[in-house]
């Protein structure tokens, strides 16, 4: 049976099975959900077994478990390793959801007139990861599995994949593959499919500014003592100049410039600044001068405050000079930049600009390397052909602004490139309240993936 008819015949089950996964609160960041995360791993193990994968096993780590399963048909055929994650971001702020984040419902939206599944993890990444298990089910049903397929689904992506690195190092042979296939990114629009050819890297730091040894009365002391919140605001404000450039010394040193040719190709992808602004209700866009919005969010590095706190933030007014101020700052990196070096440059710069009236402490968090792949790669070509088969139009290559730090490590440790066949949309609100995933996207993903295996196997066997 071809993928399309299989999907037509099993629509209800394809949804109800995903819904079962979405009901599990597999929030990796919050230890109070550890049992739910473990339960989710068991559910995936069960699915892997039920679709006929072999050597299905849950691998415990010092964090959350990894689920593995494989189907090895012929050592002469190429091997594809599918990677995905079953953990999700916390649902907070819960009050901004229209319903329970862990009770999936289908609702129509302007962008998804045929309906979308609303739930935490619907798009990132349970819905997209599950498409791969269902696509495998189609191959199995067709009785024609064109290559060896391995699945590795982890539970710590949203917290930095800290234990996956040692897992892939320890199981290098088990995970040996020709290419890694991932659906954990997006595409331009439902009628403009795209394949992600790049991911940004990440450097993440937390800063603490300390002034006096206790909170002070802002009348008695105000004017004579450095206020850590004022100072931190100043320091953060100085991290960008008028042109929107980051002022950290050496920040751009290793950035690999993108050529005019690639920029011209990027500019061909449909984009409306007006629609972009309207979709997130901003009065005007802002960013580094000399670059378009799609460039600012993909080929350029950035620095953003993710959270900033200190002092009195309760009801009403309290007159106080806080003892401490804090901020969490992320830097998205592009090819050439190294997260450890950037973190060090941040530390040097921030220490240098701190006035003598305060003490500062900087704590680095997890980071990750940027990633790029090329359209000349046979795996890219196979993916491109698969999209063309099911969407009826060719897919555009696009660099994404998001990060999946393990992808660069896959290349280093397993020596294989990753092909990022994402089917989500930027408007799907991943990490936000009311995350959703289009029914069109879910079913189209399941339909497209089997063609990737078919084309990839034939390209590799008869290049």
Contact between 26 and ligand BES (CB under 6 A)? no
Interactions with ligand BES, residue window 379-408 (CB under 6 A)? 400, 402-405
Interactions with Mn ion, residue window 95-124 (CB under 5 A)? 124
Listed ranges 74-82, 183-191, 271-279, 320-328: which one lies at the site for Mn ion (CB under 5 A)? 183-191
Residue 87: contacted member of ligand BES, Mn ion, none (CB under 5 to 8 Å, by partner type): none
Residue 186: contacted member of ligand BES, Mn ion, none (CB under 5 to 8 Å, by partner type): ligand BES
> Which contacts (CB < 8 Å, 24+ apart) does range 260-268 have?
263/295, 263/299, 265/397, 266/294, 266/295, 266/298, 266/299, 266/398, 266/399, 267/292, 267/294, 268/396
Nearer to Mn ion, 88 or 258 (CB): 88
Contact between 435 and ligand BES (CB under 6 A)? no
Nearer to ligand BES, 7 or 152 (CB): 152
Residue 146: contacted member of ligand BES, Mn ion, none (CB under 5 to 8 Å, by partner type): none
Strand locations in 226-383 (E): 302-310, 320-321, 324-333, 359-364, 371-372
Q: Which two tokens stand for residue 270?
A: 């449909």
The least distance separating ligand BES from the CB of residue 160, rounded to whole angstroms, comes to 5
Contact between 121 and ligand BES (CB under 6 A)? no
Residue 405: contacted member of Mn ion, ligand BES, none (CB under 5 to 8 Å, by partner type): ligand BES
Q: Which helix (H) or strand (E) is 66 found in, with range? A: strand 66-71
Identify the sign of the CA torsion 248, 253, 255, 261.
positive
Nearer to ligand BES, 158 or 178 (CB): 158
Nearer to Mn ion, 146 or 422 (CB): 422
The least distance separating ligand BES from the CB of residue 333, rounded to whole angstroms, comes to 11
Interactions with ligand BES, residue window 59-78 (CB under 6 A)? none
φ, ψ (nearest 5 deg) of residue 156: -135, 20
Q: Do 121 and 88 form a contact (C-beta atoms < 8 A)?
A: yes
Contact between 157 and ligand BES (CB under 6 A)? yes
CB neighbour list of residue 267: distance below 8 Å, 6 or more residues apart: 292, 294
Contact between 428 and Mn ion (CB under 5 A)? no
Q: How many CB atoms lie within 10 A of CB 446?
A: 26
Q: Do 180 and 456 form a contact (C-beta atoms < 8 A)?
A: no
- CA 369/CA 332 separation, integer angstroms: 10
Q: Which residues bind ligand BES (CB under 6 A)?
A: 124-125, 157-158, 160, 184-186, 202, 368, 400, 402-405
Residue ranges binding Mn ion (CB under 5 A) = 124-125, 184
């Amino acid at each position: 049976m071809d993928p399309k008819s299989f999907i037509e015949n099993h629509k209800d089950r394809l949804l109800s099975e995903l819904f079962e996964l979405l009901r599990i609160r597999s929030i990796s960041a919050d230890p109070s959900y550890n049992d739910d995360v473990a339960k989710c791993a068991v559910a995936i193990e069960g699915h892997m077994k039920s679709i006929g994968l072999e050597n299905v096993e849950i691998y415990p780590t010092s964090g959350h478990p990894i689920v593995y399963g494989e189907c090895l048909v012929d050592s002469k055929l190429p091997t594809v390793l599918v990677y995905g994650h079953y953990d999700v971001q916390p649902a907070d702020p819960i009050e901004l959801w229209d319903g329970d984040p862990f009770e999936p419902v289908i609702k129509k939206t302007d962008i998804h007139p045929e309906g979308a599944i609303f739930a935490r993890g619907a798009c990132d990444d349970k819905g997209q990861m599950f498409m791969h298990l269902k696509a495998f089910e189609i191959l199995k049903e067709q009785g024609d599995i064109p290559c060896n397929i391995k699945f590795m689904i982890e539970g710590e992506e949203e917290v930095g994949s800290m234990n996956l690195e040692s897992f892939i190092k320890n199981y290098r042979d088990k995970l040996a593959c020709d290419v890694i296939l991932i659906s954990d990114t997006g595409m331009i629009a439902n009628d403009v499919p795209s394949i992600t050819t790049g991911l940004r890297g990440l450097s993440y730091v937390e800063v603490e500014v300390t002034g006096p040894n206790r909170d002070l009365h802002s009348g008695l002391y105000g004017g004579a003592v450095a206020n850590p919140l004022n100072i931190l605001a100043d320091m953060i404000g100085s991290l960008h100049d008028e042109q929107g450039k980051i002022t950290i010394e050496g920040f751009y040193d290793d950035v690999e410039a993108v050529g005019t040719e690639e920029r011209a190709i990027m500019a061909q992808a449909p984009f409306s600044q007006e629609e972009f602004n309207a979709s997130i209700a901003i009065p005007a866009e802002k960013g580094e001068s000399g670059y378009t919005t799609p460039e600012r969010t993909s080929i350029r590095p950035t620095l953003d405050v993710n959270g900033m706190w200190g002092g009195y933030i309760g009801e009403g007014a309290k007159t106080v000079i806080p003892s401490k101020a804090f901020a969490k700052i992320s830097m998205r990196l592009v090819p050439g930049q190294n997260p450890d070096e950037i973190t060090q440059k941040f530390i040097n710069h921030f220490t240098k600009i701190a006035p003598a009236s305060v003490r500062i402490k900087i704590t680095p968090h997890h980071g990750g390397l940027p990633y790029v792949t090329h359209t000349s790669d046979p795996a890219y070509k196979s993916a491109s052909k698969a999209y063309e088969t099911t969407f009826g139009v060719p897919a555009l290559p696009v660099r994404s602004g998001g990060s999946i730090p393990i992808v660069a490590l896959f290349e280093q440790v397993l020596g294989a490139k990753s092909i990022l066949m994402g089917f989500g949309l930027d408007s799907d609100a991943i990490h936000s309240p009311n995350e959703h995933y289009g029914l069109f996207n879910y079913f189209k993903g399941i339909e497209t993936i089997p063609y990737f295996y078919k084309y990839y196997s034939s390209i590799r066997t008869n290049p």
